[in-house]
């Protein structure tokens, strides 16, 4: 077990209309087996004991499933490891004496609530615009009776792995949500249960994405590189095809 002494430069901001700044904290005696969020827990205990305000950050499952642990670490969404959420990042990947810079997602559609927490309800509104199946698809037995090609089922499952964390937006210089929306559109369009609402779904979700102020895809692939679930940019091509198909059909 290694013990780390670290300098943490953390973004502090009281609200979306307030000015923020980086503040530095020295944190000594960090166990290298800790997760990144456990390290922040230790820092917050010290801040509370000294009468200071703790660092506000999002977390829930701490198992790489919920997507809540959204923060940029040393310039990269979720940190330096590929295919890893912040809560799955461990301190053994850092060195004694390191300076670690921690900041929130930077995107206009994700206004800062406080410190490292951003408002990602714009994603919820995109889902509400069409990211669901409202037609009667029957019971589990009926679902098992519908033959689905293995490659389509696996493709849909890969798209459904998206946890909606917003790392794709944070990584994109245009703050595009194309990878998120494309994964959700593809998840349903690939399966027969999603076909009845196929055209309306993609038109409504893409329109809502634009309305929320997300930028256009840059085609640089930064979103795929930083996605903790390794969602492929191939789904953006699928979404564009679905969108043009829907407009032509309508």
* End-of-domain residue from the set 50, 85, 114: 114
| 143 pLDDT higher than 80 | no
If asked whether residues 61 and 178 sit together in one domain, one would say no
Residue 24: strand pairing partners: 9
| 144 pLDDT higher than 90 | no
* End-of-domain residue from the set 65, 87, 114: 114
If asked whether residues 65 and 130 sit together in one domain, one would say no
pLDDT at 249: 86
If asked whether residues 101 and 14 sit together in one domain, one would say yes
The CATH number given to whatever domain includes residue 72 is 3.10.20.30
Instruction: Please give the Cα distance from 18 to 25 (Å, whole number).
Output: 21
Q: What is the domain extent for residue 34?
A: 3-114
Kindly calculate the radius of gyration of the chain based on its CA atoms and give it in whole angstroms. Answer: 20
Looking at residue 197, the DSSP 8-state letter turns out to be G
If asked whether residues 21 and 140 sit together in one domain, one would say no
Binning pLDDT at 50, 70 and 90, where does residue 202 land? very high
**Sole residue written with tokens 């917050």:** 44
If asked whether residues 21 and 75 sit together in one domain, one would say yes
Q: How far apart are the first and last CA of the chain?
A: 62
Tell the burial category of 84 from Cβ atoms under 10 Å away from its Cβ (0-12, 13-18, 19+). Answer: middle
- The domain total for the chain is 2
**Sole residue written with tokens 């509370």:** 48
Cα–Cα nearest to 86, from 63, 108, 107 = 63
Binning pLDDT at 50, 70 and 90, where does residue 145 land? confident
If asked whether residues 201 and 138 sit together in one domain, one would say yes
| 173 pLDDT higher than 90 | yes
| 1 pLDDT higher than 70 | no
| 32 pLDDT higher than 80 | yes
Crossing angle of helices 178-189 and 198-211, in 10° steps, is 170
């Amino acid at each position: 077990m290694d013990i780390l002494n670290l300098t943490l430069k953390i973004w502090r901001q009281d609200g979306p209309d307030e000015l923020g700044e980086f503040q530095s904290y020295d944190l000594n005696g960090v166990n290298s087996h800790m997760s990144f969020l456990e390290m922040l827990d230790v820092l917050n205990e010290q801040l509370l004991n000294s009468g200071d305000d703790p660092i506000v950050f999002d977390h829930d499952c701490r198992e790489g499933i919920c997507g809540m642990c959204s923060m940029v670490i040393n310039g990269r969404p979720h940190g330096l490891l590929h295919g890893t959420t912040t809560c799955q990042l461990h301190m053994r990947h850092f060195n004694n004496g390191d300076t670690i810079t921690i900041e929130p997602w930077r995107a206009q559609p994700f206004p800062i609530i406080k410190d490292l927490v951003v408002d990602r309800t714009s994603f919820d509104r995109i889902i509400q615009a069409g990211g669901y199946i409202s037609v009667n698809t029957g019971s589990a037995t009926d679902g098992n009776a519908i033959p689905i090609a293995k490659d389509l089922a696996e493709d849909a499952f890969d798209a459904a792995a998206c946890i909606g964390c917003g790392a794709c937006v944070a990584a994109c210089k245009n703050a595009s949500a194309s990878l998120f929306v494309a994964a959700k559109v593809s998840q349903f369009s690939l399966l027969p249960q999603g076909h009845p609402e196929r055209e309306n779904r993609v038109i409504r979700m893409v329109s809502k994405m634009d309305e929320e102020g997300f930028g256009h895809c840059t085609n640089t692939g930064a979103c795929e590189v930083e996605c903790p679930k390794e969602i492929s940019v191939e789904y953006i091509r699928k979404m564009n095809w679905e969108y043009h198909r829907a407009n032509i059909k309508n």
